[in-house]
Amino acid sequence: MYRLLFTSFFRTKLCVVSLVLLMSIGVISILIGKQYLVKQEKTIVAAQEFQDESIQRNLEYHNDDLGLLLYYLRFTLIKKPSNINAISIGQSDVTPLLQAVTIRGLEGQKYDSDFENPSLLLSGNLDLGFVIIYLFPLILIAISYNLYSEEKELGTWRILAAQTAGKGKFLYKKLLVRVGFILAILIFLLGLASVLLQIELNQNFWAVSIQSILYVLFWSALCFWVISLLKRSSLNALGLISIWVVLTILIPALVNNYVINTYQVPEAFHAMVEQRDGYHEKWDLEKDAAMTGFYESYPQYKNYLVPEDKFSWIWYYGMQHSGDLAAKETSVLMKEKLMKRDNVSKQIALFVPTMHAQLSFNTLGRTDILYHLEYLDALTQFHENLRLSFYTKIFENNLADSIDWEKYNAKFYSSKRNFSWVNLLLPTLLITLILVFLGAINLRKL
C-alpha cells in the first residue's frame, strides 16, 4: 500500500513543485547564512587589526602622557561567534557583534551599534529558521489539505473505501507519505547546513533539529485535524491558511505590540544623557566633591591627591566614573524591562508553537536578547577590569612604554547558558498530541 501511495504522490506536479521550491529556497537560505558568517569573520578580523594598529599609532604621539593616550584608545570585546547563528540570525540584526570602548564612561558607549540599511532590517534575513517556520507549513498545507475531500468530490472515495479495510487508516497512510516527504527535505537541509556552515554537532544543533522536526509534526497534526472534520476542499484550504496567518503573523505581531507598549524602554537614551549630565556637572563642583562617588567605589585610590589648581587625570577619570554611577539605576531598569519582555513573550509562546519555535531557534543559536544582555554585563566587567589595570599607572604618571601592550588585544565573550530540553520540546509536543487525538476521534465518523 505505501509503495503505491508513494508512487502516486511522487508523480504529481505538486510534489515536484514542492520539492523544487523547498530545496531551492532552503539552499538559498543556507548560502545567505554562509554570507552572514563570512561578514562576521571579516568584521572580527578588521576589529582585531584596527585595535593593534590604533595602539601602535597612538603610542608614537602620546608615549609621555598615558592618561591622554588612553583617552583615545579603544578596546574590543567580541561576542564569540558560533556557526549555528546562521540558522536563526534573530536579534543579531539589531545588536552589535562587538563593542570597542575606551576607559571613559561606559553608559554612553554601551548602546552604540553598527549602521544598517533600515529597509534590510525591515525585511529581515532569509535564514533557514525563517524557511522552516513560514514556508514548510505552507507546502505541507498545499499537499495535504484535500486528502479526503478531493476523493469525495471526484466520486472515488466509495471505491477506495470498498477496497480498504480501514478508511481512517487509509487517510493516515496518505498523510504519512506527505509528512515523510516534508521531513526528508527538512532533514536533508539541516544536514546540508551542518556541512556548508561547518556547524558543530553539539546539543544545540541536535536541539534545533528536533525542534524543527517537532514543528513540522505540529503542522501535520493540525492538517490532520482539519481533514478529519470532513469538510470541502475549499473550506479546508481557507481554514488552514487562516490558521497559518494567525499563528505566524497575527499573534506574534499582537504579542510584540503588547510587550513593547507595556514595557517601554526609553532608558537606553536616558542612560546616555544621565551619564553625560553626571559627568559634566562635576566640572562646576569642588574637585573633592566631584571625587566622592569614585572614592566610594574604589577606596584604594584615596591616597592619590587631586590638585585643586590644575588638571589631573585622576580627577578626569573620577568624573567619568561618576557619570556612570548617575546612570546606573536607569541602566538596571532598562535591563529589567527587556528581561520582562523576553519572559512574557516566552510564556505566551508556550501556547503558540510558531512563536515557541522562533524563540527556541534564537535561544539555541544565541541570537536572542538575553544573550545580548549577558554580553552587556560582560562588557561592564570587561570595562572595569580595563580601568583598574590602567588607573594606578595613570595616576602615578607612568610612561606608556611601561605597559605590555601585547596583552591588550581584542577579547572574546562566550555564554555558558544552558537550556532545558523539557521547556524546549514539551509545549509543542503536547499540542501536537492533542490535535492527533482530536483528529482520531473525528475520523470515527467515517
Per-residue pLDDT tens for 426-436?
999 999 999 99
Q: How far apart are CA 239 and CA 221, in angstroms?
A: 14
**Strands of 270-373, DSSP E:** none
Tell me, what's the pLDDT at 151?
A: 65
Using an 8 Å Cβ cutoff, are 47 and 74 in contact? no
Contacts of residue 315, Cβ cutoff 8 Å, sequence gap at least 6: 287, 290, 291, 306
Percent of the chain with pLDDT over 70: 85
Tell me, what's the pLDDT at 120?
A: 45
- Exposed, middle or buried, 115 (CB in 10 Å: 0-12/13-18/19+)? exposed
Using an 8 Å Cβ cutoff, are 99 and 112 in contact? yes
Using an 8 Å Cβ cutoff, are 77 and 110 in contact? no
- Helical packing angle, 203-228 and 233-245, nearest 10°: 140
Tell me, what's the pLDDT at 14?
A: 85
Using an 8 Å Cβ cutoff, are 368 and 356 in contact? no
Q: How far apart are CA 105 and CA 379, in angstroms?
A: 12
The sign one gets for the Cα dihedral 91, 92, 94, 97 is positive
Is the per-residue pLDDT at 368 higher than 50? Answer: yes
How would you classify the pairing of strands 98-101 and 75-79? antiparallel
Tell me, what's the pLDDT at 122?
A: 44
Is the per-residue pLDDT at 218 higher than 80? Answer: yes
Q: What mean pLDDT, rounded, does the chain reach?
A: 85
Q: DSSP assignment, residue 301?
A: G
The H or E element spanning position 336 is: helix 313-349
Per-residue pLDDT tens for 374-427?
999 999 999 999 999 999 999 998 988 889 998 999 999 988 778 889 999 999
Q: How far apart are CA 177 and CA 159, in angstroms?
A: 21
Single-letter code of the amino acid located at 12: T
User: How many Cβ atoms are within 10 Å of 159's Cβ, its own excluded?
Assistant: 10
The H or E element spanning position 353 is: helix 353-364
The H or E element spanning position 373 is: helix 369-395
Q: What is the mean pLDDT of residues 57-86?
A: 90
Using an 8 Å Cβ cutoff, are 177 and 2 in contact? yes
Is the per-residue pLDDT at 117 higher than 50? Answer: no
Which position has the higher pLDDT, 287 or 132? 132
Q: DSSP assignment, residue 78?
A: E
- Return the C-alpha cell found at 280: 559634566
Q: What is the mean pLDDT of residues 201-212?
A: 95
Which position has the higher pLDDT, 101 or 7? 101
Name beta bridge partners: 76: 100
If pLDDT is split at 50, 70 and 90, which confidence band does 118 have?
very low
Using an 8 Å Cβ cutoff, are 329 and 270 in contact? no
> DSSP string spanning 161-179?
HHH-S-HHHHHHHHHHHHH
Tell me, what's the pLDDT at 84?
A: 92
- Write down the pTM of the prediction: 0.88
The H or E element spanning position 77 is: strand 75-79
CA nearest 109: which of 366, 324, 344?
324
Lowest mean pLDDT among 49-58, 95-104, 287-296, 405-414: 287-296
User: How many Cβ atoms are within 10 Å of 79's Cβ, its own excluded?
Assistant: 26
Tell me, what's the pLDDT at 174?
A: 84
Q: Cell 475531500 belongs to which residue? A: 149
Q: How far apart are CA 371 and CA 362, in angstroms?
A: 9
- Residue 243 sits at φ, ψ, to 5 deg, of -65, -40
